[in-house]
Amino acid sequence: MTDAFDFTRYLASKRTVDDRALNRHVWQTLADAVESELPRDRPLRVLEVGAGIGTMVERVVEWGLFARSAFGVDYTAIDSEESNIEVARRRLAHLTSGGEAGLRVQLETANLYEFAARQENRQRFDLIIAHALLDLLHLPTALPGLLQMVRPTGLFYFSINFDGATLFLPEVDPALDGRIEALYHHSMDTRITDGQPSGDSRTGRRLFHALRACGAEVLAAGSSDWVVHSVGGAYPADEAYFLGCILHFVESTLRGHPELDAREFEEWLAMRRQQVACGELMYVAHQLDYCGRVGG
């Protein structure tokens, strides 16, 4: 990339891509369930895990998810990276210092497993949100930990779960494009973090039955593909930077891979970056959103 890679800028640049991608049927089902199923006689308790720099917090305010919650919302947002939470504190200062729009936001640097293990968090929340997170985790370990923090019959919203398709268009060398895609997905399936498996390139399709196995009921599911392309020769907002980050992830994951010819891969990256520079690259990633109810 021309600019140095900055994860918090990547998350900021992802905001407009996610806004377009989020499945509106799933969102509306969630909004209806928040209104009809959650308590109306006290503030709602909401937890967001892996909240990054807080873009989902901004979205729930802008899209009015809790607009009809008479007693407002106590919204706890955690992320394991202090640098993300620092940026979130700045972006969300108006919501952490008093609670505009009925939302009182508490930010905390915490690992979800450590947070979930605290006794006071057991069955504490009415709604749990995880956005662009579950495909980075080991589902059989993470899902029970997440759901146990929700009170019986509370709700979950798990959005932007990657599901096994990454397309860089136009195709230039279908065999090479396909090999890069397959190796990239394989790296997600074999990733180890802190000695544990962490990630799955087919999380989207696996979630439905994984949720049911935990006693949760899916109320709505639908696709939320990222689709990024230029309009009039230019990418919207900071999406050229977003595309540069995606290529950076592919490069840093596959550099030196024994099944890729190093020079061929370099040339592929240079060509894709050139396509970003002239607005030619189209990028698609297939993902699924889910919302539902935790077992009673």
Ligand X SMILES: C[S@@+](CC[C@H](N)C(=O)[O-])C[C@H]1O[C@@H](n2cnc3c(N)ncnc32)[C@H](O)[C@@H]1O
User: In the complex, which residues of this chain contact ligand X (CB under 6 A)?
Assistant: 11, 14, 49-52, 55-56, 78-81, 84, 111-112, 131-133, 136
Residue 49 Cβ vs ligand X, minimum distance, rounded to whole Å: 6
**137/281 with CB nearer ligand X:** 137
Nearer to ligand X, 37 or 81 (CB): 81
In contact, 30 and 93? CB cutoff 8 Å: no
What distance in Å separates the CA atoms of residue 125 and residue 102, rounded to the nearest whole number?
17
Residue with tokens 């729009």: 101
Which one, 78 or 281, has the nearer CB to ligand X? Answer: 78
Under a CB-based contact definition with an 8 Å cutoff, are residues 158 and 207 in contact?
Answer: yes
CB of 130 to ligand X, least distance (A): 7
Taking the C-alpha atoms of residue 274 and residue 84, their distance in angstroms, rounded to an integer, is 30
Pairing mode of beta strands 44-49, 73-79: parallel
Please report how close the Cβ of residue 125 comes to ligand X at its closest, in angstroms: 15
Strand blocks (E) in 150-216? 150-169, 192-193, 196-197
Phi-psi region of 64 (alpha: psi -120 to 50; beta: other; left: phi over 0): left
Query: What distances in angstroms separate CA 109 from CA 77, 150, 159, 185, one per listed residue?
Result: 9, 20, 21, 29
Of the two residues 84 and 203, which places its CB atom closer to ligand X in the complex? Answer: 84
Q: At its nearest, how many Å lie between ligand X and the CB of residue 12?
A: 8
The minimum distance between CB 53 and ligand X, in angstroms, equals 6
Please, which residue, 45 or 131, has the CB nearer to ligand X?
Answer: 131
Instruction: Show the tokens assigned to 230.
Output: 């230029």
Residue 76 Cβ, how far from ligand X at the closest point, in Å?
12
Categorise residue 232: left if φ over 0, alpha if ψ from -120 to 50, beta otherwise: left
* Residue 120, token pair as written in the block: 């006071």
By C-beta, is 121 or 267 nearer to ligand X? 121
Nearer to ligand X, 79 or 177 (CB): 79
Q: How far apart are the first and last CA of the chain?
A: 49
In angstroms, give the least distance from the CB of 71 to ligand X. 26
The number of helix segments (H) and strand segments (E) in the chain equals: 11, 10
